[in-house]
Chain A
Amino acid sequence: MMSTKETLESILSFLPFSLWTNVSILFAGLLVVCLLIYLIIKLFGRMKKSGEPSILIVGSMNTGKSCLFYQLNEGEFVETQRSMREQEATFAIHEKYVKEKDPKAQAKKYHFIDWPGSPSLRLRLSDFYPVTEKIVFVVDGTELDDDTFELFYKLLSAQKLKEKQTPFLVVLNKSDLVDSPDVKPMKKLFNRELAQLNKTYGSTSYTKEQEDETENAITQLLDESEEFLLEKLQNPITFVKSSIKNGQIDDIIDFITN
């Protein structure tokens, strides 16, 4: 019968040092292994989260994006101010808007990203292109500005979105207002404005080559010689009218759930 000390010695005989240093080395080794496992689990958890396919809600300032985000989540109009930061959440669309009584459809959760409209915060948007499944582009039909078309063009010309042929839904919000335009005239306006932008982003637009920054680089969508039509682009684009404040967002729900 050997004492504990001798058993330990025999077990740890492969290590060159004295008994107690062996024990301490073993202990340290165990600690390191535990730490590594913990780190791996954490990293794995984080990676899994970021890869979720999400629906991106973008647009210019003051168009109703955050409003839409809350309508989908809570089913009612929530007062909002200008967003300072993006909002992400995974939730199922509020039961108020789900037509089918199919329990599966009700329970399906989507990951929504509500991006602020301010141009200063737009640079990081390109980081989310890899996870974007669909894009809801919210437009205020009564107050159109250059920024709307610039942003739309930028999204359309993003390399990653072109490859995946990400579908776009252009929401003409604030349809409850008197001067809110219809879909057809808006389509024409979009074609015109984008055609003009198309010219400015030709190959000669900047003389010195841009070495880096391919994600945010804006390239020409269509050849200048032919007429610019949205139908010619790779991404499917649909136009709908809605009033997010009043909850008339059925078209949007259809787009998300199909």
Chain B
Amino acid sequence: MLDKFLIFSFGGRVIFSHKFDCEIEGEPVNELISNILIEDRTGSVKEYVHENYKMKWQIENEFELVFVVVYQRMLQLFYLDKLLELLQENFLNFAREQINKLDNPNKFALSPSFFSLNKLKLPDFRPHFLQILEQVEEYDKRQKVATKMRTFDKTDKYKNTVTAVKDKDGVGKKNKKKKNKNQNDQDEESDSEESNSESNSPSLTKKKKISKSAKRIKKLQERQKSGGRSPKRNLRRRGRGRGGRGGRGSKSKKKIDEKPQKKIKKPMKWDNTLTKSERRELDQGEKLDQMQMKEISKQNSQKLIGDKKLNLDFSASEGEDDDDYWELSNDEEESIDEEEEEEEKEGFKVNLDSLKKKKKSNETKKKKKGKVANFFKGLKGNKELDEETLEPILEKFRDHLISRNVDSEIAQKISDSVLLGLKGKQIGTFQRVVKIVREKIEEVLIKILTPKRVVNILRDIGISKKKKEPYSIVFVGVNGTGKSTSLAKTCYWLLQNNFTVLIAACDTFRSGAVDQLRVHSNVLGVPLFEWGYGKPPANIAQKAIAHAKSNNIDVVLIDTAGRMQDNELQMRALANLIELNKPNFVAFVGEALVGNIGKDQLIKFNQGISDYSKTNKTQLINGIFLTKFDTIDDKVGAALSMTYSSGIPIVFLGVGQQYVDLKKMDVKMISKTLIKN
């Protein structure tokens, strides 16, 4: 079911890889690394899909390893998280063991460079891997089998049907029939037939059963008027129970004997005047305490595994420590049936034992959570970062980012991925945790803000010029963000670089839009292609580009009307314009003043352009112009929100209302501003 399993280091070295039967198409793991791991988006997603493959991963920060499992996209495998955790632990113990086996174990120590530079050649991990995989898969299968639906005869309902009861009586009936010699052979046959058929096919409808049994009841009654215990009374009761309430059989019997008690609905208490017992009654959750739950789950898991020695405590409840989740304990009580497995298990026993020891030592370590212990640990130089220490610091940073106008969801995602990226990391003696967190956050911010592909518009224009085609740039955005002004600034910039420009006035909606552009074109000395107000913008753009081509103009700048991201009609019109004209560059103009909604605008614009176009491969937004950057002092968070959510690079910043106020984004400066206290 799986396609590939990989263990590789942060630096890129593949430490262990196992390929299952099929060949993998393309490089899904590389895509995972590029899109998720490098950008530290690990906090927001748990699995990644690329073409036909889905991937799940586990990161080990202490030794800088990543464990990845690749499988088919359509499958839904629930045991993978557990498999990854198990493999992670097992692999590290395997490595530790190999070190301990050496003559001088102190020469080597487990560290990131141990794995990435292959200081000690480790033997093949494959047999261990396959064994663990097999066991986890089997456990999963058994879980599924265990919850298979019961057939009808095994339900309680069936037991209370007439046929079931009749089958019981059938035994007695036959005896009685033997006594009475005046038996109708047909009846006997039909009886036996029917009882057989009924026991074989309990899927007969209830009504059929009732009618058949009703007939037989009558016959019985006729036959046994004299004899023994008259089943009449009982049968009648059962018949009533059957017909009336639908199968409550014996239960209804009891109720007929007793007086039916009416259940009066008690009024609900909404204030705080509940007694303890009432509160317990209302509590629909667990009625057992933690210990009992643990017991039950352990029993369940042991029942299902049986002769296998792996005791996986899958069903641990949420409140428990994560340590108990993966208790690989060596249960000596369970007996081994097959001799083949004995040898394998002998080899595996060692691993499990060492695992158990490690578990215990881990548990004892974690018990000493006092501040004093941590202080001395810090002095020793081996302090490990965990959630407790990181969480309060991260909360402060989150609030700080939000105060800098970063979207709250995105601040949360960033802090989640920083937590995952620092968890388990060993820090030195005199290093302050706050400093490390700050450095890591700065690193993450830089990674997010740096574009994945370098955008060099001038170079692209040069290439188009060689092909003798005009390079078209479309400016889109919501109302009032500064599209026309950005267009004018871009025009000025291009003129400085000795390109010829044509402005196309495709904002035919807003009053004064065309006139505004006319003023700019007069000042800059650039031709304006316009067709007045009210005409369809897509056609104007088309004609403008054709005009530019015939007159050998290098660049066409197309201005569009401002529109809301939710307005379907307007988004359709925009998608139509883009599809028809296939511009080289689609620039989304957004303002830096905007809050959390900026991300929403950008995503919906991008989606709208792709959804409402008729073809599959459409031009999406290529870059962002972030305007009004001079109006925000240090609240530069909008830049981060936009880049994070869409992955689209910020091409320019608008820093004023003059033609020269166009600036390239300085990633380092923005990330520093975001962190500065």
Counting chain B CB atoms within 10 Å of each CB, the highest count among A122, A150, A207 belongs to A207
Q: Which single member of B17, B39, B64, B666 contacts A85 (CB below 8 Å)?
A: B64
B11 x A66 contact (CB < 8 A): yes
Measured CA separation A81–B14 after assembly (Å): 7
Shortest Cβ distance from residue B521 to the other chain A in the assembled complex, whole angstroms: 19
Q: Which of chain A's residues 231-251 have a Cβ closer than 8 Å to chain B?
A: none
A122 x B450 contact (CB < 8 A): yes
Measured CA separation A114–B113 after assembly (Å): 14
**B335 interface residue per 8 A CB criterion:** no
When C-beta atoms are compared, the residue in chain B nearest to A62 turns out to be B30
The answer to whether residues A200 and B38 also contact, given A78-B13, A147-B453 and a CB cut-off of 8 A, is no
Counting chain B CB atoms within 10 Å of each CB, the highest count among A73, A79, A196, A208 belongs to A208
Stretch at the interface among A101-109, A134-142, A178-186, A210-218: A210-218
Q: Which single member of A66, A84, A216 contacts B33 (CB below 8 Å)?
A: A84
A146 x B13 contact (CB < 8 A): no
A114 x B17 contact (CB < 8 A): no
Chain B proximity mask over A198-223: 1 for CB below 8 Å, otherwise 0: 01101011111010110010000000
A208 x B661 contact (CB < 8 A): yes
B12 x A83 contact (CB < 8 A): yes
**B118 interface residue per 8 A CB criterion:** yes
Measured CA separation A146–B666 after assembly (Å): 21
**B272 interface residue per 8 A CB criterion:** no
For the complex, would chain B's binding face be called helix, strand, loop or mixed by DSSP majority? mixed
**A177 interface residue per 8 A CB criterion:** no
**A25 interface residue per 8 A CB criterion:** no
The answer to whether residues A199 and B664 also contact, given A80-B13, A82-B30 and a CB cut-off of 8 A, is no
B456 x A146 contact (CB < 8 A): yes
Shortest Cβ distance from residue A225 to the other chain B in the assembled complex, whole angstroms: 13
B38 x A118 contact (CB < 8 A): yes
**B367 interface residue per 8 A CB criterion:** no
A84 x B12 contact (CB < 8 A): yes
Contacting residues, chain B, for A207 (C-beta < 8 A): 492-493, 496, 659-663
Q: Which single member of A81, A87, A150, A216 contacts B8 (CB below 8 Å)?
A: A81
Contacting residues, chain A, for B659 (C-beta < 8 A): 207
The answer to whether residues A83 and B459 also contact, given A118-B38, A120-B452, A208-B655 and a CB cut-off of 8 A, is no
Shortest Cβ distance from residue A190 to the other chain B in the assembled complex, whole angstroms: 15
Q: Which single member of A87, A122, A123, A200 contacts B12 (CB below 8 Å)?
A: A87
Measured CA separation A129–B452 after assembly (Å): 22
**A23 interface residue per 8 A CB criterion:** no
**A133 interface residue per 8 A CB criterion:** no
B117 x A119 contact (CB < 8 A): no
**B458 interface residue per 8 A CB criterion:** yes
Counting chain B CB atoms within 10 Å of each CB, the highest count among A39, A85, A199 belongs to A85
Q: Which single member of A61, A79, A85, A199 contacts B14 (CB below 8 Å)?
A: A79
Chain A proximity mask over B425-459: 1 for CB below 8 Å, otherwise 0: 00000100000000000010011101111101011
Shortest Cβ distance from residue B502 to the other chain A in the assembled complex, whole angstroms: 20
A87 x B497 contact (CB < 8 A): no
Shortest Cβ distance from residue A20 to the other chain B in the assembled complex, whole angstroms: 26
A-B contact count (CB 8 A): 133
Measured CA separation A87–B497 after assembly (Å): 40
Q: Which of chain B's residues 2-18 have a Cβ closer than 8 Å to chain A?
A: 6, 8, 10-14, 17
When C-beta atoms are compared, the residue in chain A nearest to B495 turns out to be A204
**B675 interface residue per 8 A CB criterion:** no
Q: Which of chain B's residues 657-677 have a Cβ closer than 8 Å to chain A?
A: 659-664, 666-669
B446 x A85 contact (CB < 8 A): no
A42 x B30 contact (CB < 8 A): no
A119 x B666 contact (CB < 8 A): no
**B620 interface residue per 8 A CB criterion:** no
Shortest Cβ distance from residue B380 to the other chain A in the assembled complex, whole angstroms: 14
A205 x B497 contact (CB < 8 A): yes
Chain A proximity mask over B494-516: 1 for CB below 8 Å, otherwise 0: 00110000000000000000000
B453 x A119 contact (CB < 8 A): yes
**B99 interface residue per 8 A CB criterion:** no
B6 x A147 contact (CB < 8 A): no
**B293 interface residue per 8 A CB criterion:** no
Q: Which single member of A73, A81, A150 contacts B117 (CB below 8 Å)?
A: A73
Shortest Cβ distance from residue B189 to the other chain A in the assembled complex, whole angstroms: 75
Measured CA separation A80–B666 after assembly (Å): 33
Counting chain A CB atoms within 10 Å of each CB, the highest count among B12, B66, B451, B659 belongs to B12
When C-beta atoms are compared, the residue in chain B nearest to A149 turns out to be B459
Contacting residues, chain A, for B12 (C-beta < 8 A): 66, 80-84, 87, 114, 116
A119 x B450 contact (CB < 8 A): yes
Measured CA separation A89–B111 after assembly (Å): 14
Shortest Cβ distance from residue A203 to the other chain B in the assembled complex, whole angstroms: 9
A42 x B430 contact (CB < 8 A): yes
The answer to whether residues A213 and B456 also contact, given A81-B8, A207-B660 and a CB cut-off of 8 A, is no
Contacting residues, chain B, for A205 (C-beta < 8 A): 458, 497
**A55 interface residue per 8 A CB criterion:** no
**A74 interface residue per 8 A CB criterion:** yes
Contacting residues, chain B, for A255 (C-beta < 8 A): none
Shortest Cβ distance from residue B493 to the other chain A in the assembled complex, whole angstroms: 6
When C-beta atoms are compared, the residue in chain B nearest to A195 turns out to be B462
A123 x B446 contact (CB < 8 A): yes
**A86 interface residue per 8 A CB criterion:** yes
A200 x B459 contact (CB < 8 A): yes
A123 x B38 contact (CB < 8 A): no
Measured CA separation A118–B453 after assembly (Å): 9
Contacting residues, chain A, for B451 (C-beta < 8 A): 119-120
When C-beta atoms are compared, the residue in chain A nearest to B10 turns out to be A85
Q: Which of chain A's residues 56-92 have a Cβ closer than 8 Å to chain B?
A: 61-62, 66, 70, 73-74, 78-87, 89
Contacting residues, chain B, for A118 (C-beta < 8 A): 34, 38, 452
Measured CA separation A104–B293 after assembly (Å): 68
When C-beta atoms are compared, the residue in chain B nearest to A122 turns out to be B450
Shortest Cβ distance from residue B579 to the other chain A in the assembled complex, whole angstroms: 25
A74 x B497 contact (CB < 8 A): no
Measured CA separation A189–B636 after assembly (Å): 41
Contacting residues, chain A, for B450 (C-beta < 8 A): 119-123
When C-beta atoms are compared, the residue in chain A nearest to B666 turns out to be A213
Contacting residues, chain A, for B33 (C-beta < 8 A): 81-82, 84
**B29 interface residue per 8 A CB criterion:** yes
B11 x A146 contact (CB < 8 A): no
**A197 interface residue per 8 A CB criterion:** yes
Measured CA separation A197–B462 after assembly (Å): 9
Contacting residues, chain A, for B456 (C-beta < 8 A): 146, 150, 197, 200
The answer to whether residues A208 and B38 also contact, given A85-B10, A200-B458, A213-B668 and a CB cut-off of 8 A, is no
29 contacts between A and B (CB under 8 A): A42-B430, A61-B34, A70-B13, A73-B117, A78-B13, A79-B17, A81-B30, A83-B10, A84-B33, A87-B116, A89-B113, A116-B12, A119-B453, A119-B454, A120-B450, A122-B450, A123-B446, A150-B456, A196-B459, A200-B458, A204-B496, A206-B662, A207-B492, A207-B661, A208-B660, A210-B663, A212-B668, A213-B666, A213-B668
The 8 A-B residue pairs with the shortest CB-CB distance in the complex, in nearest-first order: A200-B458, A83-B12, A87-B11, A66-B12, A79-B14, A85-B10, A204-B496, A208-B663
User: Given A118-B38, A207-B496, list of 19 further CB < 8 A pairs?
Assistant: A74-B118, A80-B12, A82-B29, A82-B30, A82-B34, A82-B38, A83-B10, A84-B66, A87-B116, A114-B11, A119-B450, A123-B668, A124-B446, A200-B462, A205-B497, A207-B493, A208-B662, A210-B664, A212-B668
